[in-house]
Structure 1
Amino acid sequence: MASNPEAESGGILSGIWETVKTIFWALLIAGVFRTLFFQPFWIPSGSMKDTLLIGDFLFVNKMAYGYSYASCPSIRIDRIGLDIDAEDICGWLGDEEDGRLFGSMPDRGDVAVFLHPVTGEDFIKRVIGLPGDRIQVTDGRLIINDTPVEVEDAGTFSEVMELQGPQGLQPRCRNGAVGMGSICEKTRLTETLPNGVSHDILNIGTQASDNTGVYTVPEGMLFMMGDNRDNSTDSRVPPTARGVGYVPVADLVGRADRVMFSSAGRSMLAFWTWRGDRFFHAID
């Protein structure tokens, strides 16, 4: 029986078209899900230790604070020069009150992801100051609205001095410049915010960020800090490529509620470095 080249060609094209449609709808559904509900996020640095460790993987709850331009993904592919900012896609949301649809303010103590005001990169810190608050740090002690927060000794945070995460970062230690493979220590304290939220903070030593002036948080802004206080670029530093400054509420991406997966190695495929005790770990 003779074959029909035209029929075979049509069948191939039909199969390719079906594949293209399947990929298109899959990407569209994934994009909508990521925009409206949850966004995956890897912890790349140690600024939130010991609440979050380098290599923790979590989903950011985008429903927690409503939606703004920051809810949309940025698309950057350097190899082909593609750079589409979230504001390019959803900048129209900035016309809403406080730049958010169905918006609500975060609670003090929430761990939240936001877009860096200068670079547009995803950052994760703890909400410390709300609009109108006065924030200061004196001798490493956080002061909110002229009242020092409660702190209690929580022992020592210890980790091995080794390269951490894909970037190969080295931890900073209270006990000096220890060698690779040695134990790196930090002082750990439990801090209780005025609304009763308690969380651990780490201290390495005395530095400039341990003594600040008074920051009065403007309307529509937040004051964010890392729990690893001596190793965090946060609202104590003015907004530059390295600093953060006050964070606009419109720049919030969502709230981090739970660690889903965690790996201490430089690759998630190195299963022997997985931290099973942190799987589905609630974020305080």
Structure 2
Amino acid sequence: MDEQSPAPPAPPSTATTSSPAKPRSEASETIRFLLKLALVVWLFRSFVIAPFSIPSESMLPRLLIGDYLFVSKWNYGYSRWSMPFGVPPISGRLFPGTPARGDTVVFRSKGDDDHDVIKRVIGLPGDTVQMRRGQLFLNGQAIPKQRIADFTVPLSPNFDERHCDTRFIQQTSQGAICQIPRFRETLPGGRSYEVLDQRYIPDADDTQVYTVPANNVFLMGDNRDDSADSRFPSAEEALPGQAQGMGFIPLDRVQGKAVIVFWSTDGSANWLLPWTWVTAARWNRIGGGFD
């Protein structure tokens, strides 16, 4: 019986194993996280809620300089001005809606120096609006204007003598305060809000009859004697020497509706002294909503 020769050895395997994935660096992971976070913040701020700070006294007595509030973005639809800095520059509005009379809204002003502004909606498309001796007339009907208790606010770095007529500064045991005549206006349907009326100003208190164009709104500040609003033409529409304001505001420039004050400060805080952040806070204003 022949002896069998041994089987030749198996050739070495030619299969290759995949090398392990190169781990991402900590820097790249941080950048990826920050980009994702920026996208989420951009989407939330553009379509849900955005913060807004009050830079002037035009909406006294409801809003003080140093108030910070949230603005809901879904109420009136979305346009390019719903996005931070108006980017991307899309045209028209998605899911359009019209504000109600009395809503407090944030909008983008017209002109080369366009910026975010907050005012109250007074006139809707087709309405007529006029001021006569400081009283508001809407569609030819006088809006009730009732005198109520004076508005008082302590003088502070955010609201000093520059913001209060000397006639209205009072000295108290707690310090100087600004005390201004206050009134309550009530719109058709029962919506009411408070306004300030300090003095008679011909251009502001006696106006022509304005007819609000289609797809526009007529906006006014609650501090009637210190508000550049729709009673005055915008910079590009004003005649030489004419007082300037906002003019009619297109609906696609309305960004959202004021919903709640989440912080308020009198401006006396020092960032290097953390305990002053607490003493500067106006705690009684935090959480205040809007009718």
TM-score range, shorter-chain basis?
A: 0.7 to 0.9
Shift of 1:263: 1.1
Counterpart CA distance in 1 for 2:281 and 2:155 is 18
Q: Secondary structure at the match of 1:229?
A: coil
Contact 2:168–2:180 (CA under 8 A) maintained in structure 1: no
Contact 1:45 1:169 in 2 (8 A): no
Counterpart for residue 254 of structure 2: 252
Q: Aligned letter for 2:182?
A: R
How far apart are the structure 1 equivalents of 2:161 and 2:216?
31
Question: Which residue identity does 1:122 align to in structure 2?
Answer: D
Work out the CA distance in 1 between the residues paired with 2:77 and 2:270: 31
1:145-177 per-residue CA deviation (whole Å, 9 max, x = no partner) reads 010101111121122344316xx7832337257
Query: What's the CA shift string for 1:207-244, capped at 9, x where partnerless?
Result: 12111111111111100000011111100111118520
The answer for the alignment partner of 2:59 in structure 1 is 48
Give the paired residue count.
254
TM-score by length of 2: 0.81
Partner of 1:278: 285
How many angstroms does 1:280 deviate by? Answer: 1.1
What letter matches 1:17 in structure 2?
S
**How far did 1:196 drift?**
1.4
Q: What per-residue deviation string (whole Å, max 9, x for no partner) do you get for residues 37-93 of structure 1?
A: 11110111111111111111111100111101110101xxxxxxxxxxx1xx2322x
Aligned residue for 1:228, secondary structure, equals coil
CA distance in structure 1 between the partners assigned to 2:76 and 2:161 by the alignment: 32
Equivalent residue for 2:239? none
Q: Structure 1: which 5+ residue stretches go unaligned?
A: 1-9, 75-85
* Cα distance change on mapping 1:212 and 1:237 into 2, 3 Å: same
Find 1:175's aligned residue among 167, 172, 179.
167
- Of 197, 207, 230, the match for 1:235: 230
- The aligned counterpart of 1:77 is none
Higher helix share: 1
Give ranges in structure 2 of 5+ residues lacking alignment: 1-21, 237-243, 272-276
- Aligned residue in 1 for 2:103: 110
Identity %: 38
> Equivalences for 1:43-192 in 2 at 5 Å?
43-74=54-85, 86=86, 89-92=87-90, 94=91, 99-118=92-111, 119-164=113-158, 170-173=162-165, 175=167, 182-192=176-186
Runs of 4+ in 1 over 6 A off after TM superposition: none
* Structure 1: distance between partners of 2:270 and 2:83: 26
* SS in structure 2 of the partner of residue 34 of structure 1: helix
Q: Is contact 2:266-2:280 (8 Å) kept?
A: yes
TM-score, normalised by the number of residues in structure 1: 0.83
Whether contact under 8 Å (1:264, 1:275) holds in the other structure is yes
Instruction: Tell me the secondary structure at the aligned position of residue 200 of structure 1.
Output: strand
In 2: Cα distance, 1:123 partner to 1:138 partner: 25
- Equivalent residues of 1:65, 1:106 under 8 A apart: yes
Give yes or no for the alignment of 1:21 onto 2:32: yes
* 8 Å Cα contact 2:155/2:161 also seen in 1: no
SS in 2 for 1:223: strand
Q: What is the CA–CA distance in structure 1 between the aligned matches of 2:119 and 2:125, rounded to whole Å?
A: 17
Moved more, 238-247 or 211-220: 238-247
